[in-house]
Amino acid sequence: MKIGIVGKPNTGKSTFFKAATLADVPVANYPFTTIDANVGTGFVRVECAEKFFGVKCNPRQGYCIDGNRFVPVELVDVAGLVIGAHEGRGLGNKFLDDLRQADVLIHIVDASGKTDEEGRPCEDHDPLNDIKFLEDELNSWYYGILERNRKKIQTINDIATQVSGLNVSLSMVKETVLSMKLNENPKKWSEAELMGFVKILREKSKPILIAANKCDHPQSEKYLERLKELGAIPCSAETELALREANKKGLIKYIPGDKSFEILSKDLTDGQKRGLEFIKKFLERFGNTGVQQVINQAVFKVLNYIVVFPGGVNKLADSEGRILPDAFLMPPGSTALDFAYKIHTDFGDKFIAAIDVKTKQRVGKDYKLKNMDVIEIISGR
């Protein structure tokens, strides 16, 4: 699971990344703060299976707070994208290379309209134009790869080979060809058909979720409703970062994604009190900062992944005594056999059956996993 954080320069990408990971990355108000991609661990938030069983879990990866399990995902914050990136303009080639293996993209848009198409400060720029420009750049990237290698493309399989480095599968290519009712010989496609094919294929392999960042800026009111009509989630990366850092210092208790926080320290400065009061009003208005919600939606709504816990009917702990130590993100349509292989190759190779631990029902290898399942794998020796 790899999530790419994308957008033009100076929209708050690195702030979003830092808020989600608490990694030490440079954040500044000028274009191309990020040169080399920042890679870190973010988390999706789900209700932990510990609640169902009335136990306390001990995660090996991620963490759990008050029954909220945080399951790790990889986040990649890449250099800002500018118009012409697919032709190498700006840091275009590097930007696109850094995104090759991303499963989903979070497009950080400056909802305030205070940065122009190049990421420079300005008085007013329509952020909806940035959405189209990013999609056009990505589509042109895909198109350029196929166009440069057109002589090598004789079959559908050849297309899949050319774009395999973009995390595109043969099934995605075949589904796109079928949905568009294209000739199975790519050489017979018109230019318009190739462009249409590229657009749909890119949407399948690099779907985009829009984060309307800086939603707390007064000027964002002008654009927020139109952005939300496109599925954008209002967010304030700066607010989330402030909350997470205050929580880390023990000043407050804050669970990422919550609609409120609890003040713990009695020794806050006047500045800290004013800052937390401002954040409180923000949360009362928007309900949350949007950062955790964006990551969750990218994984669970855009990619339709589910969370599955390994466990046993008679024992929820592993060999070291850790209760419900693991939680795995699984793609849609995953089976009990897929889960067995996810845990360990031997479990998959020697699979006998599985047990739904919550219902204590025995299921076969073709059992379709559900979100929040707890599964025990029975395998041969």
Residue at 325 is within a domain: yes
Q: What is the mean pLDDT of residues 172-180?
A: 96
Q: Is the pTM of this model over 0.85?
A: yes
Q: What is the mean pLDDT of residues 183-197?
A: 94
CATH (domain of 362)? 3.10.20.30
Residue at 179 is within a domain: no
Q: For residue 341, with 0-12 CB atoms within 10 Å meaning exposed, 13-18 middle and 19 or more buried, which class applies? A: middle
Q: What is the mean pLDDT of residues 292-313?
A: 97
Residue at 335 is within a domain: yes
Share of the chain above pLDDT 70, in %: 92
User: Measured between alpha carbons, how far is 162 from 312 in angstroms, rounded to an integer?
Assistant: 44
Among 8-17, 18-27, 113-122, 314-323, the minimum mean pLDDT is found in 18-27
Cβ neighbours, 10 Å, residue 101: 13
Q: Which two tokens stand for residue 234?
A: 């209002």
| Residue 148: predicted pLDDT | 87
- Which residue is it, tokens 């991620």? 62
Residue at 56 is within a domain: no
pLDDT category of residue 222 using cuts at 50, 70 and 90 = very high
Query: Does residue 85 carry a pLDDT above 80?
Result: no
* Single-letter residue type at 165: G
pLDDT category of residue 10 using cuts at 50, 70 and 90 = confident
What is the residue-averaged pLDDT of the chain? Answer: 91
Q: Is the dihedral of CA 232, 235, 241, 243 positive or negative?
A: negative
| Residue 30: predicted pLDDT | 45
User: Measured between alpha carbons, how far is 275 from 97 in angstroms, rounded to an integer?
Assistant: 39
Q: Which two tokens stand for residue 153?
A: 């493309």
Tens digit of each residue's pLDDT (9 = 90 or more) over 148-161: 888 899 999 999 99
Query: Does residue 35 carry a pLDDT above 60?
Result: no
**Which domain, by its residues, includes 328?**
308-379
- Enumerate the β-bridge partners of residue 209: 106
Query: Does residue 5 carry a pLDDT above 50?
Result: yes
Query: Does residue 381 carry a pLDDT above 90?
Result: no
Instruction: Write out the DSSP string of 201-252.
Output: HHHHHS-EEEEEE-TTSGGGGGTHHHHHHTT-EE--HHHHHHHHHHHHTTSE
User: Measured between alpha carbons, how far is 173 from 60 in angstroms, rounded to an integer?
Assistant: 37
Whether 146 and 163 have beta carbons less than 8 Å apart is answered as yes
Query: Does residue 316 carry a pLDDT above 60?
Result: yes
Tens digit of each residue's pLDDT (9 = 90 or more) over 328-357: 999 999 999 999 999 999 999 999 999 999
Say how many domains are in the chain. Answer: 1
| Residue 36: predicted pLDDT | 59
- Rama region for 214: left / alpha / beta (φ>0; ψ in -120 to 50; rest): left
Query: Does residue 214 carry a pLDDT above 70?
Result: yes
User: Measured between alpha carbons, how far is 93 from 73 in angstroms, rounded to an integer?
Assistant: 25
Of residues 74 and 34, more confidently modeled? 74
User: Measured between alpha carbons, how far is 377 from 312 in angstroms, rounded to an integer?
Assistant: 8
* Local structure of residue 175 (DSSP, 8 states): H
Cβ neighbours, 10 Å, residue 349: 11
Q: Could you tell me which of 324, 57, 49, 357 has the C-alpha nearest to residue 377? A: 357
Query: Does residue 207 carry a pLDDT above 80?
Result: yes
**How many Å from the N-terminal Cα to the C-terminal Cα in the chain?**
31
Residue at 360 is within a domain: yes
Whether 22 and 244 have beta carbons less than 8 Å apart is answered as yes
| Residue 259: predicted pLDDT | 97
pLDDT category of residue 37 using cuts at 50, 70 and 90 = confident
Tens digit of each residue's pLDDT (9 = 90 or more) over 276-290: 999 999 999 999 999
Residue at 96 is within a domain: no
Query: Does residue 34 carry a pLDDT above 50?
Result: no
Residue at 328 is within a domain: yes
Tens digit of each residue's pLDDT (9 = 90 or more) over 100-110: 889 999 999 99
| Residue 89: predicted pLDDT | 45
Q: What is the mean pLDDT of residues 72-88?
A: 74
Q: What is the mean pLDDT of residues 82-105?
A: 66
Query: Does residue 313 carry a pLDDT above 90?
Result: yes
Residue at 326 is within a domain: yes
Q: Could you tell me which of 102, 100, 98 has the C-alpha nearest to residue 38? A: 98
| Residue 28: predicted pLDDT | 45
